[in-house]
Amino acid sequence: MKILLVRHGQPDMEAYTSGKKGSYGEWLKKYNAAGITKNRKPPPELVKTIEKFDVVASSDLKRAVDSAQLIVKNKVIIKNPVFREFELPDSKKRYPKFTPGIWSVIFRLLWFVGYSNKSENFQDSKNRIKLSAEKLSDLANKHSEIVLVGHGLMNSFIGMELKKMGWKKKRKRGKGYWCYSEYTKPKPEVPVE
């Protein structure tokens, strides 16, 4: 059995601006609603690898769905919010004027130590990671091979959970957008009666 975890393409967003045009929370909402930029295509090796996969799952965030549609063309995509990237705490404050990229790092570090400000907390996220890995494992058991087009951090945690479930990380390709990791596991033998 095989599971391929793919990170979405580059989001179609303005560069990480100074934040002077609004709060981090406003920027975060725009980011979560953004699709992907069309001028950065997925690597041909990734497209070729995925051609043979029949089942494609995706986070329901637009950047993941758009990425999945771009690399699998006419296949049905199973969209599920369980595969979403971890929520970041929101902030309506307009100071200090850090870039959204810096705010993202600050809020992610705070999130890891327990600050969630009405977003999904790290403990709840652990349950979602386990559920995601179980769903992918069940799909792979049923269909033999599955692709998940998701998000960088969430995919990393799903990969760690898959390893706990006996999956082996076979390879990793690339860094950043469009990177992917492959996990394999022998299909369980069906007992003969």
Calpha distance 92→77 (Å, rounded):
35
Calpha distance 42→38 (Å, rounded):
10
Query: 168 is in which domain, residue-wise?
Result: 2-184
Output the pTM of the full model: 0.89
Burial (CB count within 10 angstroms: exposed 0-12, middle 13-18, buried 19+), residue 77: middle
Query: Residue 90's domain is classified under what CATH number?
Result: 3.40.50.1240
In the three-class reduction of DSSP (H, G, I as helix; E, B as strand; rest coil), residue 184 is classed as: strand
Q: Average pLDDT in the 82-98 region?
A: 77
Mind listing the pLDDT tens digit for each residue in 134-162?
A: 999 999 999 999 999 999 999 999 999 99
Indicate whether 133 belongs to any domain: yes
Indicate whether 43 belongs to any domain: yes
In this predicted structure, what is the pLDDT of residue 19? Answer: 53
Tally the domains of the chain. Answer: 1
Say how many residues make up the chain: 193
Indicate whether 37 belongs to any domain: yes
The pair phi, psi for residue 142, each rounded to 5°, is -80, -40
Indicate whether 191 belongs to any domain: no
Q: Which residues pair with 7 in a beta bridge?
A: 150
Indicate whether 73 belongs to any domain: yes
Indicate whether 42 belongs to any domain: yes
Amino acid at residue number 163: K
Indicate whether 192 belongs to any domain: no
